[in-house]
Structures are given as structure tokens and as C-alpha cells.
Amino acid sequence: MINFVNTSWFFVGLVLISFGMQASVWVYFGLYIAYTAIFFRAAFDVSSNFFMPVLCSSPTVAKEIAISFDDGPSEYTPEILRILDQYQVEAAFFCIGKHLADHPTLGQELHRRGHLIGNHTDSHHFWFDCFTTGHMLADMRRMDARVEALIGVRPRLFRPPYGVTLPWLKAAVDAGGYEAIGWSVRSLDTIINDEQKLLNKVVAALEPGAIFLFHDTRKITAAILAQFLEQATLQGYRVVRVDKLLNLEPYVPVLVNRF
């Protein structure tokens, strides 16, 4: 399997060979460009597994899918919860910690209704990917602390901000004992403004084991969600929570010191 480690060693080998052959500076420049292109292409592909393992779908052949929502809670989360209740669907909400702090009651309501709360960092900072491993882990643990204060458990499932993976994020994920979760279907609900176009896109992507990425910060998502669930049902699909689809433990129990 091609990954960051063996690719890096491959390019080191090419550099050493080029040095032995007294290659021109343009050869080294070409190798640098090629390595950089591979690095950034892999970093922005959440399913590449180049730097770290990220679970993006299930190999099941059963007509089961999972739906997930990023970046909330927000003003649109209550309507999304209402629709999920209507269709008796459990979803995963990869929340931002600072938004949980703004909507603590919604966070508790997510858990009460059987939905999963995952870690999507506390800040979701624009420059999160430039943080050091220690800074990343501290941010992720602040999110854990908020969830623990609300529902008494810590998230085990983590979704990388913007879907970007890097070696220093892998170190933070490993140190925190998280399981990284991606997606196989990106709805693009933060970009598409036409409801029918968005609905058509996600319905066309239905396939066994798919994990759908939505955002509960978008009005358009709440507008098309019921129709999407209706179409999924008509096509024989069952929506299950992502931890059940992937057979994972969603939380880390919190040990209470009784003494």
C-alpha cells in the first residue's frame, strides 16, 4: 500500500541515485515538485489513507448507509432533529466544541434522541492544519471535555476539519486514542444553493456502505433532508448510525472517582 512513509523513502532513494549520477539541479527540482504534489493531493483527499487510516465507508453489501452532520449545533439543528425523529433515523453529529458551548441544550438533546456526538475539534480553526501536534491534541481534548460535561462520556470518533489529514494530525489522533472517520459521499451542501440539484446529487450517490457528509449549519440541508430519507427508503436503504455501520465503539467511558 502506498503511504507517506514508503513514498518518502522512495523519493529519498531517487535523490541518492540522482546524487550518485551527478544529476543537474533540475532533476532535484522535479523530484521536489513531484513529492510536493503527491503530499498535498493526499492531504486533501480524506479517503487516501496516505498519512493515516480514515474510515470512509463500510464494505457491507447490505443496503445500509450512514448520514453525518458537521460543524453544528446551529439554529438549523432542531429542524434536522425533527426530521430524523419523523423517519426514526439515528445520525452522527461531528460537533465543534465552541458551538456546543453556545447550544448546550441541543448537545444534550442530540444524545437523548440516540444520535452520536463526534469530535470535530473545539475551534475548527482555519489554520488548524498548521498547528503542532500538541496544539491539535489540546484543541481536540477541549472538545472532549465539553461533551463529557454534557453527557458524561468522551467521543472516540474524530472527523478531521476540512477533511485534511497530515502526519502531525496522525500523531494527535494516535495520542488521543481516536478513530478517524471520513465520508464516501460529500453532499456539497455548503456550496450548492439549488435544492433540487443537491437532492439529485445525494440520491444518485446511494450505495451500500456509504457515509454521507452533510452540515447541520445549512438551511438547504434541512430543506432536502426529508426528501432524501424518503428516496433512500423507497430504494430499500436503511439508515444506521455510523458507529454501527462500521462496528465501532463511539465513546470512551469516563471513570468516576468515588473516593
Q: Is 125 helix (H, G, I), strand (E, B) or coil?
A: coil
- 3-state DSSP assignment of residue 186: strand
* Cα distances (Å, whole numbers) of residue 254 to 144, 185, 257: 11, 33, 10
| DSSP per-residue codes, 62-78 | SSEEEEEEES---TTHH
Q: What confidence tens digit (pLDDT) does each residue in 23-35 have?
A: 999 998 999 999 9
| pLDDT for residue 236 is more than 90 | yes
Crossing angle (nearest 10°) for helices 4-20 and 25-43 = 180
* Alpha-carbon distances of 145 from 101, 104, 122, 173, 259, rounded to whole Å: 11, 13, 10, 16, 21
DSSP three-state, residue 55: strand
* Percent of all residues in the chain with a pLDDT value above 90, rounded to a whole number: 95
What's the rounded Cα separation, in Å, for the pair 83 and 234? 17
pLDDT tops 60 at residue 258: no
Confidence grade of residue 1 (pLDDT, cut at 50, 70, 90): confident
User: What letter represents residue 259's amino acid?
Assistant: F
pLDDT tens digits for 174-183? 999 999 999 9
pLDDT of residue 255: 64
Q: For the segment 3-17, what is each residue's pLDDT rounded down to a tens digit? A: 999 999 999 999 999
pLDDT value, residue 259: 45
